[in-house]
């Protein structure tokens, strides 16, 4: 990374850390973009060069997860099927994410209690599903059409979402145990697709 890129990455992380602290201490609704920018020692206008809304601070890895799927599709072998690609992407995304971070726990709580956060999370999830389904259908045209690609992606994303809601609500767990449980839940969701020769 260039010096400029490193500075941007530090500022972006400072905004995420500041938001996590402020949301936890004074509540989501009581925290303004100006509060977050001040805590990160930048101007309010500069904030919007990093995040469009304060909701987006709670989902900083959304694009990275979609990118992980794109990379898994691009690096597929002739033996790989759609489920193989999705599971490999899950492993890559989980390895790059701290599933037990304060941000993960806070996000889960705010999704449950703040309609704006829940709405933004659902919007990002829908956009990701549509993007991933389109990439899968394009990569596996002989196995998937638009409908079956959307169904497979929905099963995959739903398994992750459902499992995380349960797992993150439990007492603190070892990160590797959490990742293993997440892979198991996704395996369960994708098993029917493995039994289907077309998948």
Total domains, the chain: 2
CATH of the domain at 19: 1.10.10.60
List, as own/partner pairs, every contact residues 178-183 make where C-beta atoms lie below 8 angstroms and the sequence separation is at least 24, other chains included: 178/99, 178/100, 179/91, 179/94, 179/95, 179/99, 182/90, 182/94, 182/99, 183/87, 183/90, 183/91, 183/94
Asked whether residue 46 falls in the same domain as residue 77, the answer is no
Q: Which two tokens stand for residue 6?
A: 């490193």
Which CATH number covers residue 149?
1.10.357.10
CB 145 within 8 A of CB 199: no
Residue 198 pLDDT greater than 70, yes or no? no
Tokens of 49: 């060069």
More confident residue, 110 or 158: 110
Tell me: pLDDT of 41 over 50: yes
47-64 pLDDT, tens digit each: 999 999 999 999 988 888
Q: Do 156 and 175 form a contact (C-beta atoms < 8 A)?
A: no
| Domain range for 35 | 3-52
- Regarding whether 164 and 109 lie in a shared domain, the answer is yes
**Are residues 132 and 83 both part of a single domain?**
yes
pLDDT at residue 95 in the model: 63
By percentage, how much of the chain surpasses pLDDT 90?
A: 46
Distance CA 31, CA 37 (A): 11
Residues 109 and 149 in one domain: yes
Task: Report the Cα 125 to chain-centroid distance in Å.
Answer: 8
pLDDT band at 165 (very low <50, low <70, confident <90, very high): confident
Whether residue 157 sits in one domain with residue 102: yes
pLDDT (average), residues 20-41: 96
Q: Are residues 20 and 110 in the same domain?
A: no
The closest alpha carbon to 92, from 183, 16, 12, 3, belongs to 183
């Amino acid at each position: 990374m260039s010096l400029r890129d490193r500075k941007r990455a530090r500022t972006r992380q400072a905004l995420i850390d500041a938001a996590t602290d402020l949301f936890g201490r004074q509540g989501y609704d009581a925290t303004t973009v100006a509060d977050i920018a001040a805590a990160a020692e930048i101007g309010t206008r500069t904030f919007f060069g990093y995040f469009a809304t304060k909701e987006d601070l709670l989902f900083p890895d959304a694009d990275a997860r979609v990118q992980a799927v794109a990379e898994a599709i691009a690096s597929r072998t002739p033996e790989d099927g759609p489920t193989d690609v999705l599971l490999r992407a899950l492993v890559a995304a989980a390895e790059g994410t701290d599933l037990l971070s304060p941000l993960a726990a806070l996000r889960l709580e705010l999704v449950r209690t703040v309609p704006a956060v829940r709405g933004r999370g659902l919007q990002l999830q829908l956009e990701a599903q549509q993007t991933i389904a389109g990439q899968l259908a394009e990569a596996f045209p002989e196995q998937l059409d638009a409908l079956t690609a959307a169904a497979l992606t929905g099963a995959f994303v739903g398994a992750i979402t459902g499992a995380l809601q349960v797992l993150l609500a439990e007492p603190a767990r070892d990160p590797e145990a959490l990742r293993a449980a997440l892979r198991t839940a996704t395996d369960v969701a994708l098993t029917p697709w493995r039994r289907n020769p077309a998948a």
